[in-house]
Amino acid sequence: MGVILAILIFSFIIFFHELGHFLLAKKNGIRVDEFSIGMGPRLLSKQVGETRYSWKLLPIGGSCMMGEDDVDDMSEGSFNSKSVWARISVIVAGPIFNFILAFIFAMILVIWVGVDRPVIGNVAEGYPAEEAGLQTGDKIISLNNSKIDMFREISSYNQFNAGEEVLVVYERDGEQYSVNIQPVQTEEGSYLLGLGSEGYTKASGLEVVKYSAYEVKYWISSTLQSLKGLVTGLFGIEDLSGPVGIVNMVDDTYQQSKSSGIGAVVINLIYLAIILSANLGVMNLLPLPALDGGRLVFLAVEGIRGKRVPPEKEGFVHMIGLVLLLLLMVVVMYNDIRSIFV
């Protein structure tokens, strides 16, 4: 059951991404040859006007075929015949729809579960936070000038900035104070200040919207920090996960949650959907060939120069990028499968 849920969640997130491309293409009068759910051979298919709508065998994604790779097609309604700004709006719509979907899921989660405000619920005895004078009820404002909106951002900050001394700005009785704190390392290798959360509390009115935005921002930031960690060596390629790893993660979450009831299962799956949707949006905006971000780079250059990059050169770059991306996917899939059986 967990595997089925994982495939459904993953497929819906990718479908929503492609829906963004599709809707903006239609709005800009761009011909969409096929809009499909899944990959591989068609199971069901229907031609409606200029577009074929398909349900394909492998439930691991989808596609919106607009002829963007047919660089020589400048016929009326073709992707490449439209203005650079129209094409940019179509390409960027996919990742933006991922962020919108993450925000919708976040609103459901915030209404259902509440929010983890950055308010100290307890201070662990003998830890640096106690020695620095922090107290229960203090509100954390920032860590090293990085604004804190949710309590979990404190542990995330320490993870991505392992061992660094932290300038903590906090609020007490309406007044702001600051103190430098050196985190301590536990036996497990994590770094702690010694702060505990007050737990989740209900949000009301505009707080729901505000904290839903914070939730999406948190996962966008975490994804960017993780990518930075890959470059700096904080993480290795073995820490990357692909579709197999994601399915396994969702299945593990389902198996661990089902004993607590359907409510716990739904909450955890929504939480994972937020993470995956925000992550997919960020990854697609990376300025790498064959990704949406890579196409946006060429469109931005075209907008600045006033003329297109020679189509054959752009096509060659995207082809090389696609090959490298496929090689990376093979390595990531190997790591995912090995981690399941090791």
What total of structural domains would you count in the chain?
2
- Whether 78 is in a domain gets the answer yes
The CA–CA distances, whole Å, from 169 to 68, 127, 291 equal: 49, 18, 39
**Two structure tokens written together for 253:** 């979450």
What are the tens digits of pLDDT across the range 16-26? 999 999 999 99
What are the tens digits of pLDDT across the range 200-217? 999 888 999 999 999 999
Q: Do 143 and 125 sit in the same domain of this protein?
A: yes
Task: For residue 242, give the H/E element and its range.
Answer: none
**Two structure tokens written together for 232:** 């700096």
**DSSP string over 278-341:** HHHHHHHHSS-TTSHHHHHHHHHHHHHHSSPPPHHHHHHHHHHHHHHHHHHHHHHHHHHHHHHH
CA-CA distance, 261 to 336, in Å (whole number)?
28
18 is catalytic: yes
Q: Do 92 and 163 sit in the same domain of this protein?
A: no
- Whether 296 is in a domain gets the answer yes
Q: Would the pLDDT of 82 be above 80?
A: yes
CA-CA distance, 227 to 229, in Å (whole number)?
5
CATH of the domain at 160: 2.30.42.10
Q: Do 90 and 128 sit in the same domain of this protein?
A: no
- Whether 44 is in a domain gets the answer no
What are the tens digits of pLDDT across the range 288-330? 887 899 999 999 998 988 888 887 787 788 788 778 877 877 7
CA-CA distance, 151 to 115, in Å (whole number)?
9
Task: For residue 42, give the H/E element and its range.
Answer: strand 34-48
Say what percent of the chain tops pLDDT 70: 91
More confident residue, 37 or 110: 110
The last residue of one of the domains, among 199, 230, 262, is 199
**Two structure tokens written together for 9:** 């969640």
* DSSP symbol at 115: B
**Centroid of chain to Cα 258:** 25
The last residue of one of the domains, among 199, 223, 255, is 199
Query: Of 137, 99, 139, 101, which Cα lies nearest the Cα of 121?
Result: 137
CA–CA–CA angle 159, 165, 170 (5° rounding): 90
- Furthest C-alpha separation in the chain: 72
- Whether 310 is in a domain gets the answer yes
The last residue of one of the domains, among 169, 199, 229, is 199
Of 118-122, 313-317, 334-338, highest mean pLDDT: 118-122
Q: Do 280 and 189 sit in the same domain of this protein?
A: no
**DSSP string over 131-181:** HTT--TT-EEEEETTEE--STHHHHHHHHHTTT--EEEEEEETTEEEEEEE
pLDDT at 230: 75
Q: What is the dihedral of CA 241, 245, 246, 248, to 10 degrees?
A: -160
The catalytically annotated residue of 18, 68, 153, 215 is 18
Domain holding 10, by residue range, is 2-31+66-112+273-341
- Whether 233 is in a domain gets the answer no
φ/ψ of residue 119, rounded to 5: -110, 130
- Whether 91 is in a domain gets the answer yes
Q: Do 107 and 155 sit in the same domain of this protein?
A: no
